[in-house]
A and B are shown apart, each in its own frame.
Chain A
Amino acid sequence: MNGPTAFGSRFRRLGGLGSAREGAAHWWAQRLTALALVPLVFWFVASLAALTGAGHGEVVAWLRGPIAPVMMIALLAAGFHHLQLGLAEVIEDYVHNQAAKITLIIAVKGGAALCALVSILSVLRIALGP
């Protein structure tokens, strides 16, 4: 793999500009969201464990506290981003039909964005509600 073309692509790779022109962005985003999710998930499970069996009033009161809405929105944003990156990776590895692969990845990314939007708006509605 020598010659001017190989050199050109190697030179591009140096600047993190692969064929997809995104370099290691996917890899980095997956790791950084993973790192952020470690404390967020511990907080989330501890909070839900404390809320086991809680009624509507208790959950609303919890989401109107000073910390819960911030942590919850951070968890949802990082979580759905991480989920969509991971699921896209799984689809890329196992689905080899190009049309099916692209359709599934678009569905996963769209679905994750929609889920993030619905859940974050729900938290905000409770946190900022009357």
Chain B
Amino acid sequence: MAQDDRPLSPHLQVYRPQFTSVLSILHRMTGVALGLGALLLVYWLAAAAAGPQWFNGARAVAGSWLGWLVLVGFTWALFYHLCNGIRHLFWDIGMGFDLTVARLTGWCVVLASLALTGAAWVVGAGGLGGLP
């Protein structure tokens, strides 16, 4: 098997987690989580297309405290992945690789994702029906 001859990646188990490496794995984890969140969006849209009874079912799920908690989590995952994705796009054009800059942009991503999540839910609370 040619596969066995390939060089191994650094073993994550023996690496001490660092700020930048934690942000890196969070990018993947939020990406995978957003795949589950996308299923909720499909359910919501399909329910809206199916009619008011179906939609009210989806609305009841989203409007419960558990649903609200999950949606806040997904909002943060979405904004984290978006902000860190922009950081990745700058790396793709060769910018921001310096360690101090990478740490600084990392903190920007963390703070921006929290601020945007907060802003979205403040707007949401003032929306049509308000919070549940």
Contacts and interface: CB of A to CB of B under 8 A. Distances in A.
A90 B28 contact: yes
Given A54-B127, A55-B59, A79-B38, A49 B121 contact: yes
A90 B32 contact: yes
Interface residues of A, number: 41
Given A31-B89, A41-B82, A83-B34, A52 B128 contact: yes
Binding site secondary structure of chain B: helix
A37 interface: yes
A113 interface: no
B127 A56 contact: no
B125 A83 contact: no
A66 B120 CA distance: 23
A119 B82 contact: no
Contact of A34 (B3, B45, B85): B85
Interface string B105-132: 0000000000010001101110111111
Interface of B: 3, 28, 31-32, 34-35, 38-39, 41-42, 45-46, 48-49, 51-52, 55-56, 59, 63, 75, 78-79, 82, 85-86, 88-89, 92, 116, 120-121, 123-125, 127-132
